[in-house]
Structures are given as C-alpha cells and as structure tokens.
C-alpha cells in the first residue's frame, strides 16, 4: 500500500491533485485545505445538516477514512471551517485598511448576508457549544474573548475612551458582538422581516459611531 493509499486519497479530485510534491507536512496541509474548501462549498450549497462527511471526502478527492485522519468528527470539521472563515474575514478587514473601523464591521455584515450557509453553521454551532465538553466550546470561548477585545479597540480608535452615549469601549464591545450575532439569528429565521445590514448600521447610529450617523453628521461643518 502506498503512502497516498494510507492517507486515504482517491485517484482523483482536489485532494489527490494537490498531494503531489513537497514533504509530508506540506501534503497534510494541502489535504486539510482541500477538505475545508470542499466543506465550505457543500455547506453553501446544501446547508450544514445535509453536508455529510462522506460528501465532503468525495468532493475533496479522499476516502472518508482519509478525511477522518484530519478531522475525526463533523463538529471538528465545522470548527475548522469557521476558523478558515475567520482568517478570510481578517484578511478582508486588513485589505480595507484606511476606512473607518466600524465601516469595515458593517461591510462584514453585508458580506455575511451573502453566505447564509456559513452563517447558519456558525449560529447553530455557537449555540450547541454552551454544553459541557462540546468540541467547539474552546473555539467559541477563545473567539469571543478575541472579538470583544478587538471590538473595544475598534470603538476606542474611532470614538475615543468614552462613546457619545457614555459607555466605555470595553462595556460597549459585548453589546456590539451580541447585536451582530443576534441579528444573524433573526435574519436566518425571518430574512424578509429583518434587514441585517441596515439594522446593524442603525445600532452603530445608537452608539454614535460609523456610517450609521449618516453623511451629514460624519462630514458636516464643525465635526472633528
């Protein structure tokens, strides 16, 4: 049995195509990338509940046993998908450098409105992770700590140490994160009634930051 057979690659598909050349760690990284890419495609097409490990393995050009070598459970695969999504979002935010920071958050909400499959995966997995020993719990605990700190810094950069409503950035950051996640849930349940991007900008207006203030407030005479 060849090394490729032992790792579970099929004869065709992206996993097999990307496995040629490089050392073992490079091949492992390429196979993981192929699996995550296949999972994201299938989740976007079918939703996460109808995305099976077998379907992901086939799309990635691996056997199911080969996929399990990299992601032993579906929950861990979904965590990997969300981690990849976060890295892409951070890269997009970095590419938008030079705009106001809360505007970049609003653009991220706009982008999320175009990918309901991944938003649904995130929302369900986040809710499930509150149970003890859930495989995604550590990911979400860490993620929310990082998100709260990052949002506090965004608010401080744009609004200073005290927001117009009197809150400090640290006190406002959990509210900002809660609004983003809460709007996603309402939007998933009733997209016709909840216009997620507009509602998020309305919340920014309440905070007194970002594009929610309107062009007149942001650019009018006398504004700092």
**pLDDT for res 26:** 87
CA distance 181 to 160: 24
Q: Give pLDDT tens digits for 177-208.
A: 999 999 999 999 999 999 999 999 999 998 88
pTM here is 0.70
Q: Give pLDDT tens digits for 2-23.
A: 334 445 555 545 444 444 445 8
Q: How confident is the model at residue 92 (pLDDT cuts 50, 70, 90)?
A: low
**pLDDT for res 132:** 83
Q: Give pLDDT tens digits for 55-66.
A: 999 999 999 999
Residue 86 has pLDDT above 50, yes or no: yes
CB-neighbour burial class of residue 33 (10 A; exposed 0-12, middle 13-18, buried 19+): middle
Contacts of 162 (CB under 8 A, 6+ apart): 168
Residue 216 has pLDDT above 90, yes or no: no
The contacts found for 201-204 with CB under 8 angstroms, 24 or more apart, are: 201/106, 203/176, 203/179, 204/102, 204/105, 204/106
Kindly state the tokens that stand for 56: 């992901």
Pair 62, 8: CB distance under 8 Å: yes
**pLDDT for res 94:** 53
Mean pLDDT for 30-49 is 87
Percent of the chain with pLDDT over 90: 40
Alpha-carbon torsion angle 1, 80, 22, 95, nearest 10: 160
CA distance 52 to 196: 29
**pLDDT for res 72:** 93
Q: Give pLDDT tens digits for 63-83.
A: 999 999 999 998 889 889 888
Residue 143 has pLDDT above 80, yes or no: yes
CA distances in angstroms from 51 to 55, 58, 96, 108, 177, listed in the order given: 7, 11, 32, 25, 28
**pLDDT for res 99:** 54
- Average pLDDT of the chain, as a whole number: 81
**pLDDT for res 129:** 87
Kindly state the tokens that stand for 54: 């077998």
Higher pLDDT, 151 or 22: 151
């Amino acid at each position: 049995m060849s090394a490729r057979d032992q790792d579970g690659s099929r004869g065709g598909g992206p996993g097999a195509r990307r496995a040629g050349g490089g050392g073992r760690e490079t091949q492992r990284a390429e196979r993981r990338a192929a699996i995550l890419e296949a999972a994201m495609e299938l989740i976007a097409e079918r939703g996460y509940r109808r995305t099976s490990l077998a379907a992901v393995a086939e799309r990635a050009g691996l056997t199911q046993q080969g996929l399990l070598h990299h992601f032993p459970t579906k929950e861990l695969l979904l965590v990997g998908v969300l981690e990849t999504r976060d890295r892409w979002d951070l890269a997009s935010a970095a590419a938008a450098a030079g705009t106001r920071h809360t505007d970049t958050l609003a653009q991220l909400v706009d982008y999320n409105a175009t990918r309901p499959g991944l938003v649904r995966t995130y929302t369900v997995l986040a809710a499930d992770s509150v149970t003890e020993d859930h495989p995604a719990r550590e990911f979400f605990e860490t993620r929310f700590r990082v998100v709260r700190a990052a949002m506090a810094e965004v608010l401080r950069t744009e609004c200073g140490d005290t927001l117009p409503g009197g809150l400090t950035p640290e006190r406002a950051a959990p509210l900002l994160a809660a609004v983003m996640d809460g709007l996603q849930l309402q939007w998933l349940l009733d997209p016709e009634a909840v216009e997620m991007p507009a509602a998020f900008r309305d919340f920014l207006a309440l905070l007194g930051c970002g594009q929610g203030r309107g062009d007149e407030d942001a650019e009018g005479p006398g504004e700092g």
